[in-house]
Amino acid sequence: MIAPSLLSADFARLADEANAVRGADWLHVDVMDGHFVPNLTLGLPVVEALLASTEIPVDCHLMIEDPDRWAVGYAEAGSYNVTVHVEAARDPVRIAKDLRAAGAKAGLSVKPKTPIEPYLELLSHYDTLLVMSVEPGFGGQAFMPEVLDKVRVARKHGLRVLVEIDGGINMDTIEQAAEAGVDCFVAGSAVYGADDPAAAVERLRARATRES
């Protein structure tokens, strides 16, 4: 699965940028509050507008403080998958239940320096695991291959979650991630930096399928 990241798109043309990646599996939307991460992007009103302008399932990655309070709103708006950070959640089990009750898949994300082992049991309540392969906050960073050990640990424990990876994914790094067992690849500049974003999605998919 390929999930183009709108963080690398033209924010003044979000509807057009979403339509430019027809054929993508998910549309990855980074919500940042300027507190949990040192960047400020977009919030629920923009996500609602985006949901009304695309048929691609929207994958909301909430890099925010207090996701216990705010996450459900993104599910209620119609997001397909809503991911919160374990480092910010006060009651991650409750969040997962609330997200599912609101009609969304529940995702849990870990930063590069956060170990996965303490949260393996917690993941039984979630549908997706998002492994960050860069420090969250800004696009265009270099891929951190050491985080793939978390993917391998999740696979070793037989967790029934979709494993997603976000950060520095391109035609080279997607091979390593696919080999480690990743299911869904978030790609920003590798897609939106291409002359034909939709074709870039298909090239990434072909490369990942070859290595998986």
pLDDT, tens only, 34-62: 889 888 888 999 999 999 999 999 999 99
Question: By CB neighbour count within 10 A (0-12 exposed, 13-18 middle, 19+ buried), where does 194 fall?
Answer: middle
Quote the tokens at residue 87: 């480092």
- For the chain, give every domain's residue range: 2-211
Instruction: State the pTM of this model.
Output: 0.94
Q: Looking at the predicted structure, is the pLDDT value of residue 154 above 80? A: yes
Mean pLDDT of 154-160: 86
Mean pLDDT of the chain: 94
Q: What is the mean pLDDT of residues 26-30?
A: 97
How far, in Å, CA of 16 to CA of 93, rounded?
36
Q: State the average pLDDT over residues 151-163.
A: 90
Residues classed as catalytic: 30, 166
108 pLDDT band (50/70/90 cuts)? Answer: very high
Q: Which CATH number describes the domain made up of 2-211?
A: 3.20.20.70
